[in-house]
A = this chain, B = another copy of it.
Amino acid sequence: MKLIIAIIQPHKLEELKKELYETQVNLLTVSEVLGHGRQMGVTEVYRGVKETGNLLRKLRVEIAVNDNFVEQTLKAIIKGARSGQTGEIGDGKIFVLPLEECVRIRTGEKGGTAIG
């Protein structure tokens, strides 16, 4: 099992979910984060003084999947989160971590069956 963490542009969430559902992946956890990447932040100005706010709003999406789902999940994320064909700086990253165990609190089930 893997835990997939995707950092995406906030407005891409809907598309991302659409893509994921089409690949039968519809369990996920989302949170708001600030990201610092290659993308330049917008310079903010407060009372005439410039602030380089180089941290940008992103969404962090966590998806736990079974190994056989990893490939299609990655594809779906890229499809859903990329801006246009070519993509834009700031579209984000995907991190794949090994997941040793997964437990469904409700039933106590473990492993692959608990993930879904």
Contact = CB atoms under 8 A, between A and B. Distances in A.
Given A78-B103, A96-B102, A98-B98, A7 B29 contact: yes
B101 A95 contact: yes
A39 B33 CA distance: 24
Given A34-B30, A95-B64, A99-B95, A8 B87 contact: no
Nearest to A80: B105
| Identical chains in the assembly | 3
Interface string A52-81: 000100101010100000000010011001
Contact of A98 (B26, B38, B92, B100): B100
A36 interface: yes
A107 B115 CA distance: 29
B17 A28 contact: no
A36 B31 contact: no
A36 B32 contact: no
